[in-house]
Structure 1
Amino acid sequence: MRYEVSEAIPEDAKAIRTTVFVEEQGFHNEFDQTDDASLHIVAYDGDEPVGVCRIFLDGGKTWTLGRLAVLKPYRGQHLGADLVGRAEETARSHGADRLTLHAQERVAGFYRSLGYRDMGIHDQDEGCPHMWMDKPLTDSTGNEPENQAS
């Protein structure tokens, strides 16, 4: 698997997000101004784009992960976890000490398995139950926490 990080949203990222969020899940408001302020991470199997996520600075040393999507044939192969790990590494390399995300509640267990915790804020996004989750990327000394699942 090869990963590319881009400041502008690549067409490959748009195609994956359209397939997963618009066509499969029925969301309508997939693209927004946050895309312009994000780093986009695309996973490739050879030349084939197969997964994507975006991260962006959300104030101070907190970054936010979003729009994690993996094409159906590649699900169940730990690609989502690998993309989250890449996002954490990239955010950390840009000075982040914490990563937040707005997860669909139906996949919260996936994020919990990677060390994310429920922040207690639950809401709806286009009628779909979501929750805010976060994970520290550094400990109190500024180092990467030990035994971190990423």
Structure 2
Amino acid sequence: MRYEVSEAIPEDAKAIRKAVFVEEQGFHNEFDLTDDVSLHIVAYDGADPAGVCRIFPDCGKTWTLGRLAVLKPYRGQHLGANLVGKAEETARSRGANRLTLHAQERVAGFYESLGYRDMGIHDQDEGCPHMWMDKPLTGSTGNEPEDRAS
């Protein structure tokens, strides 16, 4: 896998997010003004886009991770974890010392396995239960991206 970081949202990122969040999960408000101030990370399997996430500065040295999506054929191959690792590495390289995210509650265990913790704020996004989570970004995270594809 290779990862590309872009300041403008690439068409490949839009296509992945539309496929996962709009078509599979039924969200309607997928694209927003935050896309304009985010760094977009797209994972590629050769020339094929496979997954995406975005990060943006929030407050001080805290950045926010969002819109993590992996296309069906690439699920179960650690791509989500590798994208989070790339996001952490990228945010840290730009001065972040903490990353927050607004996770769907059904996938909170995935983020917990990567060191994120529940901040105690639970709400709804388009009727879907979500929760705020965070992780300090000090030193090595232990989940920097690596190519695990065979």
With normalisation by structure 2, the TM-score equals 0.94
User: Is 1:29 aligned to 2:36, yes or no?
Assistant: no
Letter in 2 for 1:78: H
Q: How many pairs align?
A: 143
TM-score by length of 1: 0.94
User: Is residue 50–residue 74 contact of structure 1 (8 Å, CA) maintained in 2?
Assistant: yes
| 1:48 alignment partner AA | D
The residue aligned with 1:112 is 112
User: C-alpha distance in 1, partners of 2:79/2:142?
Assistant: 14
Percentage identity across paired residues of the two chains: 87
Query: 1:65-107 CA deviation, whole Å, 9 max, x = no partner?
Result: 0000000010000000000000000000000000000000000
Shift of 1:149: 4.1
Q: Distance in 1 between matches of 2:128 and 2:49?
A: 26
Once the two structures are superposed, residues 19-74 of structure 1 have per-residue CA deviations (whole angstroms, 9 ceiling, x without a partner) of 00000000000000000000000000000001000000001000000000000010
* Partner Cα separation in structure 2 for residue 88 and residue 117 of structure 1: 15
Q: Which whole-Å CA distance do the structure 1 matches of 2:6 and 2:72 have between them?
A: 23
**Corresponding residue for 1:141?**
none
Match of 2:96, SS? coil
Higher relative contact order at CA 8 Å, sep ≥6: structure 1 or structure 2? 2
Aligned-residue CA RMSD (Å) = 0.7
Amino acid at match of 1:131: M
- 1:66 aligned partner: 66
Q: Is the 8 A contact 1:16 1:69 kept in 2?
A: yes
CA distance in 2 between counterparts of 1:92 and 1:57 reads 11
- Runs ≥4 in structure 1, deviation > 4 angstroms? none
Pair 1:130-2:130 in alignment: yes
Structure 1: gaps spanning 5 or more residues: 139-143
SS at 1:109 equivalent: helix
